[in-house]
Amino acid sequence: MTTYLEPRTGRSPMHGSTLMDRVGQALSIKHNNLVYEMRAAGRDVITLSLGEAFFDLKVPTFGDLEGAGADGGGGTGLHHYSHSRGLPELRAKLAGYYQDKFQVPVDPDREIIVTAGSKVAIYMVLLATLEPGDEVIIPEPFWLSYPEQVRLCRGVPVMVPQDVSIYDLHRYVTPRTRALIINNPNNPSGRVYSEAELAALHDLVHDNGMLLIADEAYNEFVPPGQPFRSCGAFDPDKEHTVTVNSMSKNYGISGWRIGYVLSHPRLMDAVLKINQHLITCAPTILCRYVAEHFDDILEHTRPQIQRVVALRNEVAGQLDALGVRTLPGSASFYLFASLGTSMLDSTAFADRLLRDSGVSVVAGLAYGESCDRYVRISVGTESPERVARGIAAVRDLIDATSPR
């Protein structure tokens, strides 16, 4: 049988578009799939590669929710689509959260959209704002989906090497620059931007007619006493700021798929159209649960968040004592550790560490080309003892692969 080829491209119809040739897999997810397979085969893996912290959380029951009548909610909407800007009660809670915690005024009717995770929220913002060929500045280390999402929107990601000061980002601005994306606190380094740095970024985007997209998914993971400013506080009229956040990390419910975006009503109206065509709404029953239990879930997770942040900073000290340097940072549950004198690149290092020592970390290359001398260590899902064993294995592999 001869294979049919699509006449225009000369390729099989099952071949993805040329755009897909340029978009890579999410390396961390790919790596974690390997971990799941090894575990399924009975191997004990010290997992320092997962992008979340595991909390002790109640499994929800829905019977007490508003609308869960004798008909189980069937007649009142718990099982159905809900408002495509997000359940009004949840929007009101989130607007109140940003107002109380960060003094960012948010109109819950026009300036917020709740959707199925912040990942797709960022994508929708890019889709709503980029023309083909528009450039988006992305400082390294970046959260690994930013460049691929820009590419999916037919934009051009402009990566900035990790040793470039954010005060020098203006060097990367061209007439095609449309936006700058930052992740504060940063995954993978745990860096928190200072007030002065954020003010400088706002000046940069303001002076160049750009957008500042601030991903604040880890905002609760900041050590007590350390100042954290939301980007939105610098631009209360939302003239150039888009803030993205999520219940995934702060509430420890990544599988529930609830994220949100705050910005100017004009941009939110555009994002709304995309949300209506792609998602419709975030899961209604789960949004209702979060709206009704907004404060108690956070009260329950906050002490656990603080424990994992404290562990992160203890591990930073342990790595330092072992002579393993990390990029500056204090927040989140991630550390970005230097491979020092190892002769392996980050991918080979992560592969060998997993194969030989049963310890999984994510190759730094996933977070930018200037990060190939690093690996990301997450302390969110293992006990302190197992984390200590994991980092000792990192140290040993650096030694074993360094020149004698």
Helix (H) or strand (E) holding 273: helix 265-278
Q: Least separation, in Å, of the C-beta of 269 and ligand PMP?
A: 22
Size of the site for ligand PMP (CB under 6 A): 13
- Residues near 144 by beta carbon (within 8 Å), at least 6 away in sequence: 26, 27, 28, 366, 367
**CA neighbor of 365 nearest in space, from 126, 134, 135, 25:** 25
Contact with ligand PMP (CB under 6 A): which of 119, 151, 238, 288? 119
Stretch that binds ligand PMP, among 76-84, 112-120, 235-243, 261-269 (CB under 6 A): 112-120
Query: Which positions from 212 through 231 interact with ligand PMP, judged by CB under 6 A?
Result: 215, 217
Across 224-261, b (16+ Cβ under 10 Å) vs e yields eeeebbbbbbbbeebebbbbbbbbbbbbbbbebbbbbb
Tell me: does residue 246 bind ligand PMP (CB under 6 A): yes
Q: How many residues does the chain have?
A: 404
Residue 10: alpha-carbon gap to chain centroid: 38
Element (H, E) at 57: none
Give, rounded to a whole angstrom, the gap between the first and last alpha carbons of the chain.
Answer: 58
Residue 117 binds ligand PMP (CB under 6 A):
yes
Q: What mask of x and - would describe binding to ligand PMP in positions 49 to 88, judged by CB under 6 A?
A: --x-------------------------------------
Q: Which is nearer to ligand PMP, 111 or 216 (CB)?
A: 216
* 349 contributes a contact to ligand PMP by CB under 6 A: no
Least CB distance to ligand PMP at residue 331 (A): 12
CB of 68 to ligand PMP, least distance (A): 26
- Name which of 121 and 337 has its Cβ closer to ligand PMP: 121
Residues 124-143 that bind ligand PMP (CB under 6 A): 143
Among 47, 189, 243, 248, binds ligand PMP (CB under 6 A): 248
Cβ contact 32:381 at 8 Å = no
Region binding ligand PMP by CB under 6 A among candidate stretches 116-124, 197-205, 227-235, 353-361 = 116-124
Q: Is residue 254 a contact residue for ligand PMP (CB under 6 A)? A: yes
Q: Is 177 in the site for ligand PMP (CB under 6 A)?
A: no
**H/E element holding 112?**
strand 112-115
How many CB atoms within 10 Å of residue 318? 17
Q: DSSP label at 333?
A: S
Residues of this chain that bind ligand PMP (CB under 6 A)? 51, 117-119, 143, 183, 187, 215, 217, 246, 248, 254, 259
